[in-house]
A and B are shown apart, each in its own frame.
Chain A
Amino acid sequence: MEVVQIQRTLMDYTKSLFMEGLLDSQFLQLQQLQDESNPDFVVEVVSLFFDDSEKLLNELTIALDQPSVDFKKVDSYVHQLKGSSSSIGAQRVKNACVAFRNFCQVQNIEGCLTCLQQVKQEYYLVKNKLETLFRLEQQIVTSGGSIPMIEMGF
């Protein structure tokens, strides 16, 4: 496939992630921080987010499986996940965390369990989409092209 074609595919794919609400403008902020001296910044930060999130989701699963649930602990994990998802622009993960925290605050175990499933779903979805996006970028770079910048007005 020609570089121009892959660049077009990447642009359309990235735009679709914004249109579907998976990513918000904070992701563009990250892209703007990437330059020749920090060419892998976005991948590095998003990888940190993946590692951090998987640990937190694991901790949440364990915490909600206890005979006596420590809602304060659960809330602190969700707060962390909300913070990092918001920082990288993973909008739907962040929104799912907001709903989750509401159930933590009223100590509703069923609500929390449902929200955990929802957060996991949104997380794995955005993870999958971002991995595809990075693969497309890599194809462009390998073919000698440059990664096009997304414009805000779409």
Chain B
Amino acid sequence: MAAQGRQGGRKSNKMTALVVDDNMVNRAIHHRLLDNLGIESEAVGNGKEAVDIHCSGRTFDLILMDMDMPIMNGIEATRKLREMGIRSTIAGVSTRSVEHEIREFIEAGLDDYQEKPLTMTKLISIIHKVKG
């Protein structure tokens, strides 16, 4: 899987991921889960920061997107990223269990959705969906 986590060209063939979550406990766990699978990751605290990092030219193979975040939530951020032409795999991860809320999140442009808390099994299932 080719990585394009750096501006101006590839530095390695490692997959890259962006963790978007306002909760620092979740950010630490998701980072470690990804690290365990050999995936380089960065983390931001809300949807606006996720959009901003892409505006600066960065791209990632995978984005783990939380739903409920301040400033810009996961639904808005996903929509915005897709409008910007970002084709990375975006997996929504949330504690929401109401069907219409999950559907709204998926329709914003997700490639996958997993209920939190994230486990190794769920993450592996997400990785299988990462586009080449």
| Residues of chain B at the chain A interface (Cβ within 8 Å) | 22-26, 28-29, 32-33, 35-36, 68, 95, 116-117, 119-120
Contact = CB atoms under 8 A, between A and B. Distances in A.
A30 B26 CA distance: 11
A33 B117 contact: no
Contacts of A48: 24-25, 28
Interface string A66-102: 0000000000000110111011110000000000000
A44 interface: yes
Say whether chain B's binding surface is mostly helix, strand, loop, or mixed: helix
A29 B120 contact: yes
A139 interface: no
28 contacts: A26-B117, A29-B119, A33-B29, A33-B33, A33-B36, A33-B120, A38-B32, A38-B35, A41-B32, A44-B28, A45-B28, A45-B29, A48-B28, A52-B25, A79-B95, A80-B23, A83-B23, A83-B26, A83-B95, A84-B23, A84-B25, A86-B95, A86-B116, A87-B25, A87-B26, A87-B29, A87-B117, A88-B25
Q: Which of A30, A44, A86, A87 has the most CB of B within 10 A?
A: A87
Contacts of B23: 52, 80, 83-84, 87
Contacts of A82: 95
A72 to B, nearest CB: 12
A147 B29 CA distance: 21
